[in-house]
Structure 1
């Protein structure tokens, strides 16, 4: 079940049903499997509980490092970086996602590389580096097309590119 109802056209953040997210968080409870930890991190993030999200994200990265695959570790690290992003630590988030994107590219894991580029684009967007955001979103779009992504995934990237271009134009007018 997807809890994402859409994306805010100005911030590019997920629009979710907060009640459903809280309910799902209660259902997961204290489960310690890697999928449960990753889902808890995401739910805590969209609910704005960033301190707890960071703690759980740290646990998820540790667990993925010890018992998961390299792909699991990349996904956990990217999600960890999104918590850093939401906390305003843009440079740390970009650094972490960049290493993940490079490893995914090197391994030929197109869908993970696209996921990383898309999230790095969102970090750049939040940091108001619209040129870098646009480049990352375009790279993610290319990678998603290469990996036969769903129409929804492609549409969200096209919308992100449009929003980034609009914000970039507004920023250049303001200068």
Structure 2
């Protein structure tokens, strides 16, 4: 219903929301088109923080498409830029997204490093106890996959 409400709106916030909704609905080709449009629009406005957020959302679509290498490359650039500008909230968003991408790619060691870093960034931001607890649950889940892969004798990808 919300997607219908957004209709043909072309504001950056509408495009970002549409990209997320389309991704969640598994309409990934459409989501990528809209995410690319959001990145172009953010680039045009000159607001680098908004551009960075749009790039993370586009990388999430790539992740859902199974294009893990592309998504990780994009997210690494986002993490680096956010860190360079001390945009801690965006850095946490990008590093958590990259951790999820590593996890989906079965690269549990790097996933663990990223989700752990996201916890510390959220603590630095003064995030709510609920947000930090949900991040700690993610760390525990990824840690269990790392432990399981070591027990099975498989070496996780580095």
For Structure 1 versus Structure 2, the TM-score category normalised by the shorter chain is over 0.9
Match of 1:14? none
Map of 2:156 onto structure 1: none
1:100 matched to 2:78? yes
> Within 2, Cα distance between the matches of 1:24 and 1:98?
31
Q: Distance in 2 between matches of 1:45 and 1:170?
A: 30
Match of 1:149, SS? Answer: coil
Q: TM-score if structure 2 supplies the norm length?
A: 0.93
Match of 2:48 in 1: 70
Report the CA distance between 1:68 and its aligned residue.
4.6
Match of 1:87 in 2: 65
Q: CA deviation at 1:53?
A: 0.3
Provide the rounded CA distance (Å) in 2 between the counterparts of 1:174 and 1:28.
48
Count of aligned pairs = 153
What residue number does 2:28 align with?
50
- The residue aligned with 1:159 is 137
- Structure 1, unpaired ranges of 5+: 1-22
> Alignment partner for residue 134 of structure 1, among 112, 117, 121?
112
TM-score (norm 1): 0.85
Q: Which residue matches 2:97?
A: 119
Give how far 1:174 is off: 2.9
| Partner Cα distance (2:2, 2:46) in 1 | 24
Cα deviation digits, residues 126-174 of structure 1 (max 9, x gap): 0011110010011111111001112232122111111101112222233
Counterpart secondary structure, 2:66:
coil
Q: Runs (4+) of structure 1 moved beyond 3 Å?
A: none
Q: Deviations over 1:37-82 (max 9, x none)?
A: 0000000111111010000000000000001510000000000000
